[in-house]
Amino acid sequence: MLRIRHWRFPEKILCILSIDVNSPCNSRGGGGRNAPTPIHNPQNLTRLQTLFRLKRARTRSGRYLRLGSLLLLTSACGKIGEPLPPLIRIPQPIADLTVRQQGAEVILGWTLPHLNTDGSTAATLASMEIYRAIREPSPDTTVAPAVGESDLWRVLQTEPARGRQEARSIRDLLEGRDLSEVLEREFSYAVKVFNRKGQSAGLSNIATLRLQPVPHPPGRPSLKPAEEYVEVSWAPSSINIDGSPVAAGVTFNLYRASSGRSSAGGLLNPTPVAGTSYRDGSARLGETYLYRVRALLETGRGGVESRDSEEATLFHRDLYPPGPPRQLTLVAGREFLSLAWFPNSESDLAGYHVFRRQGRDEFQRLTATATQRTSYEDRDLLEGLVHAYRVTAVDRAGNQSSYSNVVSDTLE
Same domain, residue pair 120 and 200? yes
Same domain, residue pair 227 and 286? yes
Grouping H, G, I as helix, E, B as strand and the rest as coil, residue 121 is strand
Same domain, residue pair 173 and 255? no
What region, left, alpha or beta, does residue 103 occupy, with left being phi > 0 and alpha being psi -120 to 50 degrees?
left
pLDDT at 173: 94
* Confidence class for position 270, pLDDT limits 50, 70, 90: very high
The C-alpha atoms of residue 363 and residue 164 are separated, in whole angstroms, by 66
User: Percent of the chain at pLDDT above 90?
Assistant: 67
How many domains, in total, are found in the chain?
4
Residue 31 is part of which domain span? 2-74
Summarised one tens digit per residue, pLDDT across range 136-145 is: 988 877 777 8
Question: Considering the domain boundaries, does residue 290 fall inside one?
Answer: yes
Question: Considering the domain boundaries, does residue 203 fall inside one?
Answer: yes
Q: Is the pTM of this model over 0.75?
A: no
The C-alpha atoms of residue 243 and residue 258 are separated, in whole angstroms, by 34
pLDDT at 409: 94
Question: Considering the domain boundaries, does residue 26 fall inside one?
Answer: yes
- Looking at the predicted structure, is the pLDDT value of residue 14 above 90? no
Close Cβ partners of 39 (under 8 Å, ≥ 6 residues apart): 19, 21, 25, 26, 45, 75, 77, 78
Same domain, residue pair 206 and 247? no
Among candidate residues 257, 285, 315, the one where a domain is terminated: 315
Same domain, residue pair 271 and 333? no
Grouping H, G, I as helix, E, B as strand and the rest as coil, residue 19 is strand
The C-alpha atoms of residue 368 and residue 1 are separated, in whole angstroms, by 95
Grouping H, G, I as helix, E, B as strand and the rest as coil, residue 90 is coil
Question: Considering the domain boundaries, does residue 44 fall inside one?
Answer: yes
Same domain, residue pair 118 and 184? yes
- Looking at the predicted structure, is the pLDDT value of residue 58 above 70? no
The C-alpha atoms of residue 302 and residue 320 are separated, in whole angstroms, by 43
Say which CATH number the domain at 271 has.
Answer: 2.60.40.10
Same domain, residue pair 241 and 274? yes
Question: Considering the domain boundaries, does residue 267 fall inside one?
Answer: yes
pLDDT at 352: 98
Same domain, residue pair 116 and 151? yes
Same domain, residue pair 67 and 41? yes
Burial 199-214 (b: 16+ CB within 10 A, else e): bbbebbebbbbebbbb
Question: Considering the domain boundaries, does residue 82 fall inside one?
Answer: no
Same domain, residue pair 135 and 169? yes
- Looking at the predicted structure, is the pLDDT value of residue 180 above 50? yes
The C-alpha atoms of residue 252 and residue 298 are separated, in whole angstroms, by 11
Question: Considering the domain boundaries, does residue 112 fall inside one?
Answer: yes
Same domain, residue pair 62 and 156? no
The C-alpha atoms of residue 149 and residue 117 are separated, in whole angstroms, by 22
Among candidate residues 210, 232, 264, the one where a domain is terminated: 210
Summarised one tens digit per residue, pLDDT across range 96-119 is: 999 999 999 999 999 999 999 999
User: Percent of the chain at pLDDT above 70?
Assistant: 79
CB-based contact 267:253 (threshold 8 Å) = yes
Grouping H, G, I as helix, E, B as strand and the rest as coil, residue 181 is helix
List beta partners, residue 297.
304
pLDDT at 123: 92
Among candidate residues 182, 210, 238, the one where a domain is terminated: 210
Same domain, residue pair 205 and 111? yes
